[in-house]
A and B are shown apart, each in its own frame.
Chain A
Amino acid sequence: MTGADVLLLALGAVAVGAGALVVGTRHLVRAGLWLVVCLGALAGDYLVLTAELVAWVQVLIYVGAVVVLLLFAVMLTRAPIGPSDDLDRPGWPAALVGAGSGLGLAVLLVDAFRWSRVELPAAGTAERLGEQVFRSWVLPFEVLSVLLLAALVGAIVLSRPDIGRLTERTEPAAAAGDEGGRR
């Protein structure tokens, strides 16, 4: 056991424990806050695994943006202070599927790697990853940008009810007049 192994074990235990609290807690807001702990521990894991850029991107996008969005959604929909009882449905099938897939994958991976040891490769700095992205993975990168644009437009269309309503009505002129009157 080297220092890296101890760090990986500790961060992994934190991540799994916080993940269990995310899916187990009865406080809506606390689930989001435990998600921050879980994602932060995973960012630490990436740092130990020498994936510097991925770790910082994880902190920026997941902890910085995705969790904030999720907490916004919690606040906008319903934010009861204190525990809520109606968050879960009876969960034996879920526990069976979750434990089955998790433990099954764990057994598979333990059997594949045993207690073997590898040397850590050169660190994945922004320079090296950028070289790979723009040399070998340019097409997927560009396709991803188109996908982000599509997701952006989709989210805007979904969250504006007046766009869908205009096309649903039979008389667009009446609908436009209605819109103007409401404004």
Chain B
Amino acid sequence: MISRIRKALENQPAIKAWIIRQEISRSFQQYDLKDRSEAVREVDTEIYTVDVLCDSEDSEGKISSGLGTVSILPGGDIESTLEKAILTAQLVHNEPYDFAAPAAIPEIELADPAYQKDPEKELGRVLATLKEASKAYPHVRLTAAECFGQERQTHLVSSKGIDASQTATDIYLQWVYIGGEGQDEVETFAEIQRRRTSDLNLEEAVSRQAQSTLDLVQAGKPQSYTGPVVIQGSTLADMIAGEMLSGSLLGTLSNAGLKYSGETPWEVGKSIFRQEVKGDDFTIWANRKLAFGVPSSAFDKEGIPAQRVPLIQENKLVSFIADQRYAYYLGIKPTGSFGCMEMPAGNTSLADLQTGSYVEIAEFSWFNPNRLNGNFACEIRLGYLVEEGKRKPFKGGMLVGNLLDALADVIWSSEVGFYGNYLGPRGARFNSLRVTE
């Protein structure tokens, strides 16, 4: 079908440039409810997405570029769908730009051979491992689990000469633990997304979640507090790199599209913070080359090859993350899509971060700072007040502050971890944050 679409595009003189993306995916989904299988699903899809770029005159007679994008399902009407794309492209008026030229595309490991070999068996093995590992914690009950796997093949060709293919897998696992009894019952919910099953680190994840469930049973009410706050693991990764529901503040403010629209105050060469940095210096890369990173890719939807982009170095913005169009507009090198957040290891051990009196936050209800200024007031699902070496769990209350201000006064751990979209310190001690009752 790609060749038919290509031929149809080449017969259209109005088109300045085009990209075709073919995506074929096959997924398996298993849903367990206590000791029985609730649902089993198998899904096959195939879709062709076509971007066409046309130049036309705007209402003032200036040359402008317009993008028209359409999707075609197998058996769909290619000619009439492409006409719709061209019409749209001619009606949309933006500053002129062009699509990406071919460039060397690196090999990035994105697919799990164990899953590809026998998807159903591998998902079954994951669920069996989860159940078996959970048995080691008799005071918690596993009441539900969902495990999905998907293999997606992408083939991209463009009028500029790009012809590239990649295959990626996605593994998603969630489960529910119940702890306590009667009116004192509590639940915890775990959710992990990775490219391969071996990165789920199930034994460790089960141990952490089971302990959180037991601690939640014992959790008391929060106290008002201002002082050091320690955050670790996937909760820290979500704060920095964003989670599945919301993007990351750092990703938003470093986006070239937002720079072009005037909505980010960040400037290359200047500190991203509005105050003096009191803690460790902040350095981060946007890394789409990270093997088995969930947002990693050999090439993005425009065909731009994977890169490891220095984003922030010693608190100063080094580069905006730009697709082809905004790179053109801002006169910078295109980076393609963001990829994973990568940070260097800190200089302080996790053990040293956890000294003296402090609050540790194990889980938020949802850490969702304001997407442009970083202000937040987020409910604490499970935290600990640590005094004289004793950890007292609490539930409720809010962590209140501003994420950028918090990142300007933090100590990072020397131990690093990988959490799907984040590779960096496993722990951080924010020197002064406020917990409200």
- To the question of whether A and B form a pair in one complex, the answer is no
